[in-house]
Structure 1
Amino acid sequence: MTATADRVLTTSASARDSAIADFLANLDETVNRVMRGRVDADFMESNRGLPPFVLRDIMAAKPLSAFIPDQYGGFGDSPVAIQGMLDVMSYQSMSLGLMMGINGALFIQPVAKYADEQVGRRVLKRMAAGHAMGGLMITEPDFGTDALSMQTAWRQDGQSYTIQGTKHWAGLTGWADYWLVMARPMNEDGGLSQGVDLFICEQDHADQRIEVISRYPNLGLYGLPYGRNKVDVRVPLDHRLDGGRGGLRMMLDMLHHSRMQFPGMAIGFLRRIADEAVRHTRERTVSGSPLIGYDQVQARVARIQGRLALVSALSLYAAEHAAADVDLSRAAVASNAAKTVCSDYMHDAAQSLLQLVGARGYATDHIAGRSVVDARPFQIFEGSNDVLYAQIGAKTTDQMRKRGTSDLGAQLRADYPEGVDLAKLGAELDVSLPDRPSQRRIVDVGFIVSRLHALGALAELATRGFPPDHVAAGAATAGEEIRGRLTALRDDLALRPAEAQLGVASWMPYLKPGV
């Protein structure tokens, strides 16, 4: 590369970084003004839906530009803008953060990558202007984790596709202007073939409109509507996504990209939790001393900050490894680790904040109580964490089997040396696994691997000058978790459900005589 070309690229990158910084600053100011100035954020978050002006003002700041490809006027070719935008939104409202994540990771990115060029251009330009939203429909009432057995079916009928089925728990139910609907191909005999496909449905067209059958009273995330939907539509042939690969590969690429963006949502959420925890424990006094002076409280706050450090590292990792044009269909370990670690830490931090705040926090209009119910579903949707841990663990145990070793420590030291070193894991790692571990032990291995992946990212972040005290808190937090799971692997205590159910006051027959 010539010196001139190098200067042009450097200048271009600098201008781009400046534009992204300006975009995020404007978005932060807008969300702060709307959520903390024009509306009582706590009241809004404890009531269903969003006031119309809130969504209007926020969409006017064009947050979805973070996902929109450069050619359509956005920043979507840079994961930096995506991570930053999700951080800004999630600090103020988890509902807003998830809303943007659904639009971007589950609609805009797959459309930009796999849709017909003309259809994609028309849809994405409208979304870039802040005039439309899009979502994804996969889950069905009888098929959640077992999504590939879905019964929503498609068949070609002349110059269109007919799609019929029922979908539920799609975020933005009744709000989205566009939907990506996943369905299985129907055979000539009426049966369903293996494999899945994705189709764009435009709600402004009567023959593509999806009917909302009912709305769900979701426990948390009040700002987002969920419900049950009847799919009985006809879409043009050019509305089927086709990336030159099978539908399953497209689905994995889409979901893995989405899971890689969990750190963006988690970091904003955890920053808010950490700020609230520090503020409360400094201001609240018990027996004449501030809460933060107590060792148990310090440990809770340190763990919250440690989780924030680890999620910050995963955000950096995603910004550098999960660009929109990268095929992540085979990046199961990294993407599943990002999703599981972030969602576990969101829930754990929210529980700690509620414990610190006490009775006042046990209300839907308080940030502590609301955070608990808002964070909980992140451990369930886009793959239950138990299932994702099992997938991660199975990858590691399969590698061990191929190498002909039962030494978990040797495998982990080879795969995640930076994480092992940062957590100061020594002889604790020396666990011998059976050739065919039980499922729950495979889940334990997946849990450990996910933390080591995060620790590896934190070790890299530390080399770039991240505050050492936050690095130390992150290393101690993850190391403590890993040691707990290693103990479970080493002891391998049997846990089996009892055959008989206990009845009312089942303890009474065992009372001492005369009581």
Structure 2
Amino acid sequence: MKSSPVHPFDLLAVDGLLTEEEREIRRTVRTMGERELRPYVAEWFESGEIPARELARKLGELGVLGMHLEGYGCAGTSAVSYGLACLELEAVDSGLRSLVSVQGSLAMYAMWQHGSEEQKREWLPGMAAGEKIGCFGLTEPDAGSDPGAMRTAAKRDGSDWVLNGTKMWITNGSVADVAVVWARTDDGVRGFVVPTDSPGFSAPEIKRKLSLRASVTSELVLEDVRLPAGAMLPGARGLSGPLGCLNEARFGIVFGSLGAARDCLETAISYARDRTVFGRSLASYQLTQQKLADMALELGKGMLLALHLGRLKDAGELSAEQVSVGKLNNVREAIEIARQCRTVLGANGVTLEYPVMRHANNLESVLTYEGTSEVHTLVVGKALTGEAAFR
């Protein structure tokens, strides 16, 4: 007997947990994504190129750049609303959500939280509007999961700072107008606001990627980059500064990864209902239904976890280890959903005619950046045992 299908999120009545404002923000971002991003994203992925500046302006007009920050042209929305926007953007492509995350939760947040009033006024309004693009330089070729091993250094020269070093895997790097760069100083790790037209600064783009192809990824090379004293972020000292920014970005991933998973599952369900195998729809077979049911269960659980963490963040009660729980679980389950959905689509699943393999490839990067699954496992392990297993 056939009946009307239920959307995976409807199984757990997720919409009833959202406010009307949150649902409206979600609808607005989804509509823009479907109309102005999805029709082109497969082509961007295939070519490995995106119209970054045009996209930044569109996303600025939409109001999602730094949307969870207050003032300076930012919307000041709730954390849950920001999470839902990340979910809808990543339902189109992880690279597009990465552009928004790096702009708002890393570069803008670093200035908003740790910057001087002059730095905020100079950069944040233009970045919120998408007229200026930012990037965040922490990871280095030999310092990924261990940022304390960074080699980039800033030395005093009179009242100026002189920066030397290399950063790696930097989203938005070669299209950015400003970079927030973290460097060793005699006073510990400090952050610097670096205009990308500064002499000695270059950002060669990283090519030949098999993941996040609809995203700009670059090196940052700093060769005797001279900055005035006012370029340093006054409110950040030590690794707590950049790590706090990373927690902001990780929170967006907790929601965003579910967007990729949802798009894969919606695609697989639609495909299974339409595909005829041995005279029956693929969706009518028990093995297919077991896959779909298991994936819907994990997707729903991930969404409930994301919403709970979002409510904690809005209440000012979200801890770093809780963010690690969210990132660890939701990305791990999202990539498994993408892989299982590919099996439902069979050979069609490996083409760009469907989004599933593109999402799966992207999630391989999401699994690694903003803290690998191994690192988040150890964060959770430390919280449970009180023992640090990093070294």
Residue 173 of structure 1: CA displacement?
Answer: 2.1
Deviations 1:42-63 (A, max 9, x none): 2333221224655544443232
Change (3 A) 1:368 1:259: same
Q: Which moved more, 1:43-52 or 1:345-354?
A: 43-52
* 2:34 is equivalent to residue 29 of structure 1: no
Aligned counterpart, 2:79: 79
Mapping of 1:42-57 within 5 angstroms? 42-51=42-51, 53-54=54-55, 56-57=57-58
Change (3 A) 1:18 1:108: farther
Aligned counterpart, 1:231: 222
| 3-state SS of 1:222 partner | coil
Residue 123 of structure 1: CA displacement?
Answer: 0.8
Q: Distance in 1 between matches of 2:228 and 2:29?
A: 36
Name which of 233, 246, 260 aligns with 1:241: 233
Is 2:173–2:205's contact at 8 Å kept on the other side of the alignment?
A: no
Residue 130 of structure 1: CA displacement?
Answer: 2.0
Q: Distance in 1 between matches of 2:95 and 2:375?
A: 25
Q: Distance in 2 between matches of 1:287 and 1:112?
A: 59
Name which of 175, 185, 202 aligns with 2:195: 202
Is 1:172–1:224's contact at 8 Å kept on the other side of the alignment?
A: yes
**TM-score, L = length of structure 2:** 0.86
Mapping of 1:70-149 within 5 angstroms? 71-76=71-76, 78-149=78-149
* 2:169 is equivalent to residue 180 of structure 1: no
Aligned counterpart, 1:386: 374
| 3-state SS of 2:181 partner | strand
Mapping of 1:4-43 within 5 angstroms? 24-36=26-38, 39-43=39-43
Deviations 1:2-36 (A, max 9, x none): xxxxxxxxxxxxxxx77766555443332222134
The unaligned stretches of length 5 or more in structure 2 are: 1-18
Deviations 1:414-451 (A, max 9, x none): xxxxxxxxxxxxxxxxxxxxxx9xx7xx9xxxxxxxxx
Deviations 1:236-269 (A, max 9, x none): 22222233x6322222322222222212212222
Is 2:73–2:124's contact at 8 Å kept on the other side of the alignment?
A: no
Percent identical across equivalent pairs?
23
Change (3 A) 1:24 1:347: closer
Amino acid at match of 2:272: T
Q: Distance in 1 between matches of 2:172 and 2:108?
A: 14
Q: Which moved more, 1:47-56 or 1:87-96?
A: 47-56
Residue 355 of structure 1: CA displacement?
Answer: 0.9
Aligned counterpart, 2:68: 67
Change (3 A) 1:351 1:257: same
| 3-state SS of 1:135 partner | strand
Q: Larger relative CO (CA 8 A, sep 6+): 1 or 2?
A: 2
Mapping of 1:356-435 within 5 angstroms? 356-398=344-386
Is 2:74–2:128's contact at 8 Å kept on the other side of the alignment?
A: yes
Aligned counterpart, 1:460: none
Amino acid at match of 2:78: S
Residue 108 of structure 1: CA displacement?
Answer: 1.4
Change (3 A) 1:81 1:239: farther
Is 2:103–2:127's contact at 8 Å kept on the other side of the alignment?
A: no
Mapping of 1:308-323 within 5 angstroms? 308-323=299-314
**TM-score, L = length of structure 1:** 0.66
Amino acid at match of 1:176: A
| 3-state SS of 1:247 partner | coil
Is 1:216–1:228's contact at 8 Å kept on the other side of the alignment?
A: no
Q: Distance in 2 between matches of 1:298 and 1:266?
A: 23
Aligned counterpart, 1:6: none
Residue 230 of structure 1: CA displacement?
Answer: 0.9
Larger strand share, 1 or 2: 2
Deviations 1:363-400 (A, max 9, x none): 3453121111111111111222112212312331338x
Residue 87 of structure 1: CA displacement?
Answer: 1.7
Mapping of 1:287-302 within 5 angstroms? 287-302=278-293
Residue 103 of structure 1: CA displacement?
Answer: 1.2
| 3-state SS of 2:171 partner | coil
Deviations 1:98-136 (A, max 9, x none): 211111111112211110012112211111222112121
Amino acid at match of 2:34: N
| 3-state SS of 1:268 partner | helix
Amino acid at match of 2:132: A
Q: CA-atom RMSD, angstroms?
A: 2.6
Q: Which moved more, 1:214-223 or 1:280-289?
A: 214-223
Instruction: Report how many residues are paired.
Output: 370
Residue 340 of structure 1: CA displacement?
Answer: 0.9
Name which of 348, 368, 387 aligns with 2:336: 348
Q: Distance in 1 between matches of 2:176 and 2:295?
A: 35
**Over alpha carbons, which structure has the higher Rg?**
1
Aligned counterpart, 2:16: none
Q: Which moved more, 1:295-304 or 1:343-352?
A: 295-304
Change (3 A) 1:395 1:41: closer
Is 1:62–1:130's contact at 8 Å kept on the other side of the alignment?
A: no
